[in-house]
């Protein structure tokens, strides 16, 4: 199967901790890093947040793995094990929420230490209502007029076997039938194959998986926003990460912001990927090398070529919040630019708070409509 696809990954979790123990020694942990991924989850679903493993050069955690603790930012207490809190518990490098709730949104910090050294990593978790699933959809892209597959992402924490997944798929909320000629749902796998992919196939897909845990049945939902592109355009590079226009961080933190570029079947060498700051080379703007462009990685996933170039902040300073960062990917057929900003951590998750008046307004308007309908027997449309 020539699956032409790629997956953008995001995901994770956090924990609001109700019952904790005191964190013993925070003062000897000078090294603070912000994990670039931001985890978006649905209220009421199981979530596992993982303390990141050493994937970037300047973060070598391997020597520190045994001693991992978790706490929520702003709380001095450590998140305990399962026996203390059956909803949120820490186990080694994982933080479990069974299930996660809206109020768990926030920044979670995992601390890895050995006797002489320690590193803290901040991980962002945003929990939204189930009705907002499309706002946190995973972007995926397929080429048209060939077969392609989309993947139900981030399930492995809930399916250690990796072979016996049972998923239900929906397109724009309608269930996809298994005997449909166009869609093939591979038994036990996390993918949905479509032959051929047409421009009209773009849209929202949802996959659902049941997750039984100690007698309780939970449901895991992932929403995918499928974009389709013409096959001919594959020669132009496509930036697939970062997806968000801003990345929040904390002054003084280390941070890595990868730019991941899809080049399809084109060779890696033909494509140039670089980061600019205020439209100038990073090494020119940051002469002291506080912010640098990391090593270029050439990646092959499912037969497709990707290039990843990280932008590395040794320590985030205020001026970075006012700097335009741009990832530029180009080859001789075309180019794509992706502007992005670094912004200061808003502890209260500002967009989320901004939603509250809107949600309230909806409730009030909805309430009025229903009330009038009851009183006078009008249809909602008439009101
Ligand atoms: C602790 O971790 C640091 C960083 O990985 C390493 O350099 C150091 O050797 C470790 N110390 C011990 C005692 O293992
Ligand atoms: C974790 O750290 C504590 C001291 O902070 C130490 O006593 C303990 O042995 C460590 N545990 C492991 C598994 O390394
Ligand atoms: C943690 O919370 C404090 C205030 O409670 C805030 O000043 C700080 O920026 C937050 N840090 C992170 C990593 O979110
Ligand atoms: C995991 O896979 C093995 C064989 O591969 C099977 O015997 C076992 O029942 C599976 N476990 C679950 C929980 O599906
Ligand atoms: C980029 O430009 C903005 C606005 O002119 C400025 O505030 C900022 O300091 C500049 N960034 C760097 C890294 O020079």
pLDDT by residue (tens digit) across 18-29? Answer: 223 333 444 557
Given this model, what pLDDT does residue 275 score? 95
* Cα–Cα distance measured from residue 16 to residue 307, given in angstroms and rounded to the nearest whole number: 36
In the chain, what are the domain boundaries?
31-128, 137-233, 238-344
CATH code that applies to domain 238-344: 2.60.40.10
* Cα–Cα distance measured from residue 267 to residue 305, given in angstroms and rounded to the nearest whole number: 7
In this prediction, residues 187-197 reach a mean pLDDT of 89
Is omega for the bond preceding 99 within 30 degrees of 0, making it cis?
yes
316-328 pLDDT, tens digit each: 999 999 999 999 9
360-377: burial string, b at 16+ Cβ within 10 Å, e else: eeeeeeeeeeeeeeeeee
Counting ligand 4 atoms within 8 A of each CB, the residue from 156, 158, 160, 161 with the most, and so the one to mutate, is 161
Angle made by CA atoms 334, 275, 106, in degrees to the nearest 5? 115
Output 22 or 237, whichever has higher pLDDT.
237
Distance 10 CA to ligand 5 centre (A): 29
Asked whether the predicted pLDDT for residue 30 surpasses 80, the reply is no
| Residue 160 CB less than 6 A away from ligand 4 | no
Whole-model pTM over 0.75: no
| Residue 60 CB less than 6 A away from ligand 1 | yes
Asked whether the predicted pLDDT for residue 259 surpasses 90, the reply is yes
* Cα–Cα distance measured from residue 118 to residue 26, given in angstroms and rounded to the nearest whole number: 9
Output 66 or 326, whichever has higher pLDDT.
326
* Confidence tier at 84 by pLDDT (50, 70, 90): confident
Asked whether the predicted pLDDT for residue 359 surpasses 80, the reply is no
* Confidence tier at 187 by pLDDT (50, 70, 90): confident
Assign domain 137-233 one CATH number from 3.40.50.620, 3.40.50.720, 3.20.20.80, 2.60.40.10. 2.60.40.10
Q: Going by DSSP bridges, is the β-strand pair 31-42/254-264 parallel, antiparallel, or unpaired?
A: parallel
Distance 77 CA to ligand 5 centre (A): 39
| Residue 164 CB less than 6 A away from ligand 4 | yes
Ligand 4 atom closest to 161 (CA): 1
Given this model, what pLDDT does residue 381 score? 33
Residue with CA closest to ligand 4 atom 7: 161
Q: What is the mean pLDDT of the chain?
A: 78
From the list 68, 111, 63, 107, the residue with the least C-alpha distance to 91 is 68
From the list 5, 135, 117, 58, the residue with the least C-alpha distance to 295 is 58
In this prediction, residues 117-129 reach a mean pLDDT of 89
In this prediction, residues 84-101 reach a mean pLDDT of 92
Output 14 or 80, whichever has higher pLDDT.
80
> Do 150 and 142 contact (CB within 8 A), yes or no?
yes
From the list 89, 213, 206, 123, the residue with the least C-alpha distance to 159 is 213
Given this model, what pLDDT does residue 60 score? 56
Given this model, what pLDDT does residue 66 score? 66
In this prediction, residues 327-352 reach a mean pLDDT of 76
> Do 241 and 273 contact (CB within 8 A), yes or no?
no
Among 49-63, 114-128, 195-209, the minimum mean pLDDT is found in 49-63
When mean pLDDT is compared over 40-54, 174-188, 229-243, the highest value belongs to: 40-54
Ligand nearest to the CA of residue 158, numbered in listed order:
4
Q: Is it true that 31-128 and 137-233 share their CATH fold?
A: yes
In this prediction, residues 171-199 reach a mean pLDDT of 86
CA dihedral 241, 228, 135, 43 (to 10 degrees): -90
Fold assignment, 31-128: Immunoglobulin-like (2.60.40)
Percent of the chain residues past pLDDT 70, beyond the cut: 76
Given this model, what pLDDT does residue 335 score? 87
Distance 10 CA to ligand 4 centre (A): 28
């Amino acid at each position: 199967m020539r699956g032409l696809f790629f997956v953008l990954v995001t995901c994770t979790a956090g924990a609001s901790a109700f019952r904790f123990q005191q964190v013993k020694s925070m003062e000897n942990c000078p090294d603070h890093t912000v994990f670039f991924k931001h985890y978006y989850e649905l209220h009421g679903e199981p979530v596992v947040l993982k303390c990141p493993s050493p994937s970037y050069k300047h973060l070598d955690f391997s020597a520190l793995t045994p001693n991992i603790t978790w706490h929520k930012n702003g709380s001095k207490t450590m998140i305990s094990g399962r026996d203390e809190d059956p909803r949120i518990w820490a186990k080694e490098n994982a933080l479990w929420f069974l299930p996660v709730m809206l109020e768990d949104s926030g920044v979670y910090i995992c601390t890895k230490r050995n006797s002489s050294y320690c590193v803290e990593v901040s991980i962002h978790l945003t929990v939204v209502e189930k009705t907002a699933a499309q706002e946190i959809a995973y972007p995926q892209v397929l080429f048209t007029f060939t077969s392609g597959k989309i993947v139900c992402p981030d399930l492995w924490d809930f399916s250690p076997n990796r072979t016996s997944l049972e998923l239900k798929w929906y397109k724009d909320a309608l269930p996809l039938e298994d005997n449909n000629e166009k869609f093939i749902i591979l038994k036990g796998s996390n993918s949905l194959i479509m032959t051929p992919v047409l421009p009209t196939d773009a849209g929202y897909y949802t996959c659902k998986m049941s997750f039984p845990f100690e007698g309780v049945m939970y449901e895991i939902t992932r929403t995918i926003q499928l974009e389709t592109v013409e096959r001919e355009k594959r020669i132009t590079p496509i930036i697939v990460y970062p997806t968000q226009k801003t990345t929040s961080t904390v002054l003084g933190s280390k941070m890595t912001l990868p730019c991941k570029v899809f080049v399809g079947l084109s060779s890696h060498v033909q494509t140039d990927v670089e980061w600019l700051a205020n439209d100038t080379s990073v090494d020119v703007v940051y002469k002291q090398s506080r912010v640098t462009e990391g090593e270029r990685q050439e990646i092959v996933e499912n037969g497709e070529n990707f290039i990843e170039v990280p932008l590395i902040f040794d320590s985030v300073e205020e001026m970075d919040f006012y700097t335009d960062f741009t990832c530029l990917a180009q080859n001789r057929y075309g180019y794509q630019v992706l502007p992005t900003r670094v912004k200061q951590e808003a502890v209260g998750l500002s967009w989320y708070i901004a939603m509250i008046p809107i949600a309230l307004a909806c409730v009030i308007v909805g309430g009025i409509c229903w009330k009038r309908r009851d009183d006078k027997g009008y249809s909602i449309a008439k009101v």
